[in-house]
Amino acid sequence: MVTAMAMANTRRRMHPVLTAMVDFHTHILPGVDDGSHSVEESLQMLHAMPEVSCVIATPHFYAWENTPERFLRRRTAAWEQLRERLDDTVPDIRLGAEVCYFEGICRSDELHSLCIEGTNVLLLEMPFEKWSSRALHDLLELGHRAELRVVLAHAERYESFYHKRDWQHVADSPIMIQCNAAFFLRLRTRREALRLVKDGHIHLLGSDCHGAEHRAPNLDEAAQVIRKNLGEDALCEIDRLALRLLDGKGAE
Ligand SMILES: [Fe+2]
C-alpha cells in the first residue's frame, strides 16, 4: 500500500520546495456540496496549490439531510468523475467528510464510515451559535472515544460561541485543532494564529476552499506567513503530524 508519506514524497520531488504540505480541509469534489461546481473547477483548484502534496476532500455531511450511505454514494460518484481527469501534476486526494455536529453524535455508531479513508480521523464542525452544555458534553465525549481521533474543523471560527473556561476542557482533551489558512492571512488575526502555532495549539491546517474564485485555495499563502515568521520547522512539524495521521499512526 502506498503510504501518505510516500505519496507526499513523490510530489515533493516534482516540486522541489520545502515541505510535504497536507490541506486537511477542502470542498474540492465537484457537485457534492457548496464547494466546487464542476470537474473543471476542481481541477483549477488543484492546480492553484503548488506546494500542497495531499488534499483531504471533506464535503459537508449533515445528519438531518443525509444518511451516511447516501452521502458516501454521492461522494463516490463525484470522486469517480474527478479521478479520471487527474494526473501527477496535482496533489494526491484522500476522501473524508466535514461532519456537522448533531445531538447525540457521541452515541452514533456510524461515524467510522465518515472518517478520512484509511484512518480513524473524524473532521467535526461545531455549531455557529452559543454552544449548549449538551453540545460541549457531546464534543468532549466524542473526543475521548478511544476508537476515534476527532479533529475540530476551523477552530478559530468558534471563538465567540464558547466560554473560555469550557474551552480549557477541549484544550485538555485528545481533540485536535484544525485552523483555516484565512486565520493566518487576515491582518487582525495573524498574530494570534502564529502565537497558537508557536505554542503548539494548532495541529493541522486547511484551506477550507470552496471554489476556484470564491474561497479559493490559499494554504500556500498561509504557509509563507508561517515560514516567514516562525521558520520552516514550525511548518514541517504540522506536516509531519498530518502525514502520521494519514498513515494511521496517531498523533504521537
Ligand atoms: Fe468546510
CA–centroid distance, residue 125 to ligand 1 (Å): 8
CA–centroid distance, residue 151 to ligand 1 (Å): 12
- Residue 37 falls inside a structural domain: yes
- Residue 51 falls inside a structural domain: yes
CA–centroid distance, residue 231 to ligand 1 (Å): 27
CA–centroid distance, residue 97 to ligand 1 (Å): 9
Q: Which helix (H) or strand (E) holds 228?
A: helix 219-230
User: Cell 494548532 maps to which residue?
Assistant: 202
Instruction: State the distance between the two ends of the chain, measured CA to CA, in whole angstroms.
Output: 22
List CB-based neighbours of ion ligand 1 within 5 Å: 98, 208
CA–centroid distance, residue 145 to ligand 1 (Å): 23
- Residue 123 falls inside a structural domain: no
- Residue 10 falls inside a structural domain: yes
- Residue 120 falls inside a structural domain: no
- Residue 28 falls inside a structural domain: yes
Per the rule left: phi > 0, alpha: psi between -120 and 50, beta: everything else, 250 is left
CA–centroid distance, residue 60 to ligand 1 (Å): 7
CA–centroid distance, residue 172 to ligand 1 (Å): 24
- In order along its 252 residues, the chain shows pLDDT tens digits of 345 545 544 554 444 444 579 999 999 999 999 999 999 999 999 999 999 999 999 999 999 999 999 999 999 999 999 999 999 999 999 999 999 999 989 989 899 999 999 999 999 999 998 888 999 999 999 999 989 999 999 999 988 888 888 889 999 999 999 999 999 999 999 999 999 999 999 999 999 999 999 999 999 999 999 999 999 999 999 999 999 999 887 654
- Residue 117 falls inside a structural domain: no
Q: Which domain holds residue 21?
A: 4-99+175-246
User: Cell 505519496 maps to which residue?
Assistant: 7
As given in the structure block, the three cell numbers for residue 37 are 461546481
- Structurally, the chain folds into a number of domains equal to 1
Could you tell me the CATH number of the domain that includes residue 227?
3.20.20.140
CB-based contact 54:7 (threshold 8 Å): yes
- Residue 163 falls inside a structural domain: no
